[in-house]
A and B are shown apart, each in its own frame.
Chain A
Amino acid sequence: GAVVSQHPSRVICKSGTSVKIECRSLDFQATTMFWYRQFPKQSLMLMATSNEGSKATYEQGVEKDKFLINHASLTLSTLTVTSAHPEDSSFYICSAVDGYEQYFGPGTRLTVT
């Protein structure tokens, strides 16, 4: 089956620094990938749609200058949280589209101290 990986699985960073999260489709090519965020005891909320070779589309309320998304190849999308603050601490999950199905990565736990 289709496999999506994320790296790192867990990261702790200091306030004001930037963190990059990678999302890779391991055995298929994904023109479209999605980035979700999940706060404790909340459901997943879509942050942005990442399209290979074009600019990402951000959901309302998500700052595009703070959450930089790059989808440089058909198997890799990256999310960079710039100038991280403690309120950015969350669980970030990506998914990659293969046909009409989405496959989810295992998630990245970001803690900003």
Chain B
Amino acid sequence: KQEVTQIPAALSVPEGENLVLNCSFTDSAIYNLQWFRQDPGKGLTSLLLIQSSQREQTSGRLNASLDKSSGRSTLYIAASQPGDSATYLCAASSGNTPLVFGKGTRLSVIA
């Protein structure tokens, strides 16, 4: 059974800092791994999706990497801004099966 863990649970950084969020999964037989952002009381916003055959995906200041063999993914946020404050969730998919979510990392970027 797939389990997804995210570290740290919470992170507070000053504006402008680069940061890394970590995600690990127990079953390396994934189809893809997805990073989401969730603002308080809101739904999910998909940030990046990495297919199992890919090593990384980039979108603007965000870069996500995937290492299936070690069961790890990282989300790198460059030059953080207060508007980046949110909870970041990673989720692993084994095809058309339900996504398995981590508990998230709550990020606060202080101006």
Contacts and interface: CB of A to CB of B under 8 A. Distances in A.
Interface stretch (A13-21, A62-70, A77-85, A94-102): A94-102
Interface of A: 32, 34, 36, 42-46, 49, 91, 93, 95, 97, 99-102, 104-107, 109
Interface string B68-105: 00000000000000000000010001011011111110
B43 A104 contact: yes
Interface of B is mostly: loop
A100 B41 contact: no
B102 A100 contact: no
Contacts of A99: 96
Contacts of B43: 93, 104-107
A44 B95 contact: no
B42 to A, nearest CB: 7
A91 B42 CA distance: 9
Interface of B: 31-32, 36, 41-44, 46, 49, 89, 93, 95-96, 98-104
Contacts of A100: 31-32, 93, 95-96
Nearest to A109: B41
A34 B93 CA distance: 13
A107 B24 CA distance: 26
Nearest to A99: B96
Max chain B C-beta neighbours (<10 A), residue from A42, A100, A107:
A100
B101 A44 contact: yes
With most chain A CB atoms within 10 A of its CB, the pick from B89, B93, B96 is B96
A106 B46 CA distance: 11
A95 B96 contact: no
Contacts of B102: 43
Nearest to A108: B43
Contact of B98 (A46, A101, A105): A46
A-B pairs, 3 with minimum CB distance = A107-B43, A106-B43, A43-B103
Contacts of A43: 89, 101-104
